[in-house]
Amino acid sequence: MKALVYNGPGDKSWTDVPNPEIINSTDVIVRVETTTICGSDLHILKGDVPAVTKGRILGHEGVGTITEIGSSVSTLSVGDRVIISCVKSCGHCANCKTGLYSHCLGDEGTSGIGWIFGHLIDGTQAEFVRVPYAENSLYKVPEGVTEDQAVMLSDILPTGFEIGVQNGQIKPGDVVAVIGAGPVGLSAMATAGLYGAATIIAIDLDKNRLEQAKEFGATDTVVSSATDWKAQILALTDGAGVDVAIEAVGIPQTFTMATEIVRPGGRVANVGVHGKPVELHLEELWIKNINISMGLVNTNTLPMLLKLVAQGKLPAEKFASHHFSFDQMLEAYDTFGRAAETNALKVVISR
């Protein structure tokens, strides 16, 4: 089969590799129909994730059809159309039983690490993929849900919702600021309304992204390079600050921004993946009763979000800004890697 293979920092290839095979009785093989590229894939290619070794097939998002099942699999069948969760779940360990799939203690990949596809085992940017713990890591796609919609449920929609909206404890009437209007930030905006946010402020350097944010639920936008960006946000809150600030970029400056605009008693939900330390001004924050949360997605909300997508309550299809075929995989990477120039949100790669 063909697959996108990591050959070391800065080196990737769309090349022939052996087809995956059933290893454990709880495995299935999925014929990948649609996949996409995540910012973490770009981090891997920069050499920022040393656990990813040469020869690894990248990708952790996908939709496909089951072609083979392990002997212990009883709730899935050959021919089922499924969403592949970006996080494994054995379903039996202490963490999985509490919904903490991101720290699944199953032995596949590494015990205690849920993100394994394209990281610790071969991933979804391939014509076929082996899925361990299949009955707990795959979700059947209902009739009427398109490939474009379904693939967004592998990662970005659960991430924005769980780590941004749920961890941020958004309540009806809240004023919410989302710093970073990339796919995950837009996912937080799209799902903040589920918990009744009254005002959703999108903050980004890119004016085009801010225009797109209005289609995902943003009520107001602020260009973060403006000298008065903070004053603009405070003006939208009668000077009090936002109830919830969601950081969806992953750099020290944007985390600091989030702590500067949140009101006393408010909440900062860090979603962005940080590669460098950030400065935490506890000497200023403690007296404001600020709560800060962070985490890795569990995807335990995927079934609920899937129902909302199926009913047209979430605009999942709007994330698909560019479409490519499998033999255009390298072109898709180039487009996604230059998102500021190409206006790419999510590139969808299909057979």
Residues 255 and 287 in one domain: yes
User: What is the chain's length?
Assistant: 351
CATH of the domain at 97: 3.90.180.10
Could you report the per-residue pLDDT of 270-300, keeping only the tens digit for each? 999 988 899 999 999 999 999 999 999 999 9
Model pLDDT, residue 150: 98
pLDDT band at 349 (very low <50, low <70, confident <90, very high): very high
Residues 31 and 63 in one domain: yes
CATH of the domain at 181: 3.40.50.720
- Select from 294, 317, 341 the last residue of a domain: 294
Geometric angle at alpha carbon 86, from 208 and 313, rounded to 5°: 55
Model pLDDT, residue 275: 83
> How many separate domains does the chain show?
2
Residues 264 and 140 in one domain: no
pTM over 0.85: yes
Residues 176 and 131 in one domain: no
Tokens of 62: 């996908």
Tokens of 228: 């008065």
What is the C-alpha separation between 243 and 262, in angstroms, rounded?
6
Model pLDDT, residue 240: 96
Could you report the per-residue pLDDT of 215-265, keeping only the tens digit for each? 999 999 999 999 999 999 999 999 999 999 999 999 999 999 999 999 999
Average pLDDT of the segment spanning 117-128: 98
Neighbouring CB atoms inside 10 A of 340's CB total 11
Residue 68: is it exposed, middle or buried by C-beta count within 10 angstroms (0-12/13-18/19+)?
middle
Could you report the per-residue pLDDT of 160-176, keeping only the tens digit for each? 999 999 999 999 999 99
CB 213 within 8 A of CB 315: no
Looking at the chain, the whole-number percentage of residues with pLDDT higher than 90 is 98
Residues 238 and 166 in one domain: yes
Cα dihedral sign for 18, 22, 86, 309?
A: positive
Whether residue 116 is predicted with pLDDT greater than 90 in this model: the reply is yes
Model pLDDT, residue 48: 87
Range of the structural domain that residue 303 is part of: 2-155+299-350
Residues 264 and 151 in one domain: no
Could you report the per-residue pLDDT of 14-51, keeping only the tens digit for each? 999 999 999 999 999 999 999 999 999 999 999 989 99
Give the number of C-alpha atoms closer than 13 A to the C-alpha of residue 123, restricted to the C-beta side.
Answer: 32
Model pLDDT, residue 92: 95
Average pLDDT of the segment spanning 307-318: 96
